[in-house]
Structure 1
């Protein structure tokens, strides 16, 4: 089926039509799954990946003196997975509530549950709270420092949906929110942050600005018409120098983070492969092809996974 579908079908225009949501869930639950973006897992994957990087980096740093760090690492990964799905869903629901009027003006988002009228604002708010409660339950499984750190992230999350109204850099605020896990993974293991985790956080912010800029090129024309600001509009017709800078900073800061934490050799190999994949994105990007922009945006899930695999292999080698 074509992804360009009417709201009457129960689908949304900017989501796959054959996702498991539509094959497994009752039709009455589809709008809530769409609010939470369960039909678009790339979002929670990109939110989860900095958590996993940080958790693996911290476990590697701790494993030399404490072999039990691997068990904690696995438990932390499970918690981060559950928390990422819940909080990404809550964040997207919140974003849709805030952007209700804007989404009605953008062709790609007009069929979403709120602008199409398939859920009310009250129903969306209740659903948001329920997801946030799940996120809170997950957060309370960590140490006290990580709990406080997680709560602090809500300030950035609250600001992000409004950023497109007052700055050309809303992707920076998305980066601040989506990269918070780079601090959380280290905090979960050590009960604090370090130079390595701060560098990893800065790297993830730059990476997020880069990939979300590519994503934003899908909406650049609509954004110009309704006055929504973005880095895609800011960078104009030649984003490559900006992307080179952003992805270059991300790669450099990850490298420095690995050095600060004493990551194993395989982690650097994974980073090298990821850097090549980021370079590929810049080389092939066609900002006038929305389908390609979406595909390259999703490709970053594989980039982040490669970095994580390198860190896990380095951890396992350290434990052998």
Structure 2
């Protein structure tokens, strides 16, 4: 379902609900037959909003229901809202929720409790919802050298010499002392070159975020308007590209020794975000892998 007052043409949204044996929640998979545009939601900011309508039991006479709606699951439904009656949805009474499919952290966990009924948990799968996010091409990454043509400066982008002991796809032996000296300990640096030109215009953003090996998003408030000499060692730009660096832990210390984290293989999702203050929307993405599995860590001689 769509929100009232949306001027852009909205694609059709299909929902499929399933419950697997042994699971304590109902999975609702949403899909669209086209791109959901970024549009304004009354009171909730801009986003690629799609709706879920959960029908009340037949004969339900109450005008409200209890619910939970958030980024994490809850068995409790502690908030109250009015039911929705809308012939464009159906002839029944509904609990309606809107989700931003362009968010890095959409609210996908819903718990609904109708008066006199047990609470039911739902998890919404947004992977089938098409959003306007651009899949970037022409991005280059390096773990051991600065971007081509960029000089290391303290004001713009600087080189991290201590982390240059490893490179993507490389092999070799590192001592514990060497690993401990890399960044804050067991860290490598990824240098990025990101073209500014994208289909239909120029890549402009308010934040950069990344997820490594499916982990939580880590956001960085580094807008594309940041001047070339205002990066404090982390960022610069020219007329064609954005350049920046970001450190990641590849080896963890335990009982006085370092071991490779996640087998030394790191799958990245990088995204660029536009924000209106209330909603963060992904406008472009890039995925890549850093493979350091060819390195071994040995005791100091």
- Which TM-score applies when normalising by structure 1? 0.22
- Kindly indicate which of the two structures has a greater share of residues assigned to helix: 1
Higher relative contact order (CA 8 A, sep 6+): 1
- Kindly indicate which of the two structures has a greater share of residues assigned to strand: 2
- Which TM-score applies when normalising by structure 2? 0.23
Larger radius of gyration: 2
